[in-house]
Structure 1
């Protein structure tokens, strides 16, 4: 009976199904956030209110994850002041700073475009890991994957005639910067998670990051917005998808190799684009979007795929960070 969770979470149908569910949840964040802007009447230039909206989401997500951790028996924190400082730094960088730029960028860029651009985080993590970890150097395959992926990101910023390059710092620039911050913060989070329970670490960093976002938003004149049933349910969904997806993802990583799970990351821009097209009436049938999706997904697959001769031990040593949308 003790081995039941391990047996259950290593079955291929279960693993694949839950991994796809996680990427579906993360992909749904793009249209959900933009819908939240509409329901709460948050204008694209109202950055302060966008920060308040993000703060509400992540504070609630952190609380939900702490409750889940308590139910799972993870109530013995045992963290020193040093560890709490590390978690606070992680929360400010990975949640606060990253989502300041992510929410701003999503206000100025379409959901389809943002979901593709945000995939640069996978490539940034591979490049950063090359300079930080001796056992995760850029291989020929990973280099090709990064080039292919960035080619897709580059393509999506051209107009239909390929004559004009459409890129704004407030929109597309903010999304790419958010992806870079997430990649760097995730590597730092992986380092400190070696001595701290991953679920508790994430719960606290989400809550701390959410509080910082709320404080900054209110300090610059942000407003909560007029919540009704629809907007309240949407906020709860955004918080729930962050906490639930992480809980499932971390469980899958516990019982399976990292490379086997992270290969599903390529589905996030696919789901993000499809759901944005479905719920926001955005176009996804433009040839540049379809080709960009194909290039980005191919690039992510190349950088996360293990060689056929790799062992399980080598797979666990991979340093590809998990997404946090």
Structure 2
């Protein structure tokens, strides 16, 4: 009976999270939340007196955010009677590796790289996460191959990211390993770790997985930040509330994103990443009382949405006829002779 209930639950989840409307709604919500972190982090730096080049203190700030996000998810998982302590040695090792790469290493490379390049180039290069994800998925999953439609959609999204940053800084070609190079490395690490997380999620509850990886990655960031001279001062009720919001958005966005990756082809989900800098630009302008009714923002949104439409528009019958092998294997494992 338990195996049958688990199988039915897996089928219901697959039907829900593979529905195009649900995919678009949840992926857009994740990107909106991540986009809102742009102005929130900047405001947090100002509240805590963190200067632009103070990378160690930024790592401490990010670490606290992710540790708190992980704790929130694990508490919710425990209240929902999810098995948060039933981890064997293999699962523990997988979660530590995921947290170390997806949360800790990725953010270290990103923050260091951002300190040695412009915000414009950093935003554009960071969007290469989508390209890496699509290419890696092409070689890993049989049902996630690169098609002309998918390639064109990714190209339109990338152009949209460039457009939204046009005029905000220099776009001249420049490339240094410690600057632009580290941003690209961070994008690659995030892409590879996300695909690895998709694999782990087939045999583990997504909320538990996300809670542990965020918590462990956050601990690594806090330790690295303090070890390199970072510190946080001037904590107030306002800065604590802001930190709480950042932790909450991380817990919600990362959990939903992991669920979408679990039940959908990687390319269909990661293309929505192009919306993050668009939302980030618009929300930053709103928070700073700037004009958001600019032509470039509209053009960028149209290009990004067009790219997303091209990638996500696929024959539904084919998608259901050839499910992700990882999902099929997970279902088989849950079934019993009874």
Name the counterpart of 1:207. Answer: 215
Change (3 A) 1:124 1:261: closer
Deviation at 1:270, TM superposition (A): 3.0
- Identify which range, 54-63 or 10-19, moves more after superposition: 10-19
Is residue 159–residue 165 contact of structure 1 (8 Å, CA) maintained in 2? no
Among candidates 270, 292, 298, match of residue 306 of structure 2: 298
Name the counterpart of 2:227. Answer: 219
Deviation at 1:183, TM superposition (A): 0.8
Is residue 136–residue 318 contact of structure 1 (8 Å, CA) maintained in 2? no
Name the counterpart of 2:103. Answer: 95
Change (3 A) 1:12 1:137: closer
Among candidates 123, 128, 134, match of residue 126 of structure 1: 134
User: Following the alignment from structure 2 to structure 1, what is the Cα–Cα distance between the partners of residues 313 and 325?
Assistant: 13
Deviation at 1:247, TM superposition (A): 3.9
Deviation at 1:41, TM superposition (A): 1.2
| Structure 2 residue runs without a partner (length 5+) | 328-338
User: Following the alignment from structure 2 to structure 1, what is the Cα–Cα distance between the partners of residues 185 and 209?
Assistant: 24
Deviation at 1:120, TM superposition (A): 2.8
The C-alpha deviation readout for 1:267-313, integer Å capped at 9, x for no partner, is 43332221011114567566555544543443343334323553335
- After superposition, residues 126-145 of structure 1 pair within 5 angstroms as 126-145=134-153
Is residue 157–residue 274 contact of structure 2 (8 Å, CA) maintained in 1? no
- Identify which range, 240-249 or 149-158, moves more after superposition: 149-158
Structure whose CA Rg is larger = 2
The C-alpha deviation readout for 1:197-234, integer Å capped at 9, x for no partner, is 22211111111100100111011000022211111111
Name the counterpart of 2:334. Answer: none
Name the counterpart of 1:165. Answer: 172
Deviation at 1:187, TM superposition (A): 0.9
Q: Say whether 1:48 aligns with 2:56.
A: yes
Name the counterpart of 1:188. Answer: 196
Secondary structure of 1:223 counterpart:
coil
- Identify which range, 262-271 or 30-39, moves more after superposition: 262-271
Matched residues, number = 315
Name the counterpart of 2:333. Answer: none
Secondary structure of 1:311 counterpart:
helix
User: Following the alignment from structure 1 to structure 2, what is the Cα–Cα distance between the partners of residues 209 and 216?
Assistant: 11
Change (3 A) 1:237 1:106: farther
User: Following the alignment from structure 1 to structure 2, what is the Cα–Cα distance between the partners of residues 70 and 293?
Assistant: 39
Deviation at 1:42, TM superposition (A): 0.8
Change (3 A) 1:258 1:160: closer
For normalisation by structure 1, the TM-score amounts to 0.79
User: Following the alignment from structure 1 to structure 2, what is the Cα–Cα distance between the partners of residues 259 and 181?
Assistant: 15
- After superposition, residues 1-325 of structure 1 pair within 5 angstroms as 19-104=27-112, 109-110=118-119, 117-153=125-161, 159=167, 165=172, 174-249=182-257, 262=269, 265=273, 267-280=275-288, 290-307=298-315, 309-314=317-322
Is residue 257–residue 316 contact of structure 1 (8 Å, CA) maintained in 2? yes
For normalisation by structure 2, the TM-score amounts to 0.76
Is residue 119–residue 179 contact of structure 1 (8 Å, CA) maintained in 2? yes
User: Following the alignment from structure 2 to structure 1, what is the Cα–Cα distance between the partners of residues 131 and 233?
Assistant: 36
Deviation at 1:144, TM superposition (A): 1.9
What is the RMSD of the two structures over their aligned residues, measured on CA atoms?
3.9
User: Following the alignment from structure 1 to structure 2, what is the Cα–Cα distance between the partners of residues 172 and 283?
Assistant: 29
User: Following the alignment from structure 1 to structure 2, what is the Cα–Cα distance between the partners of residues 116 and 317?
Assistant: 33
Deviation at 1:151, TM superposition (A): 3.7
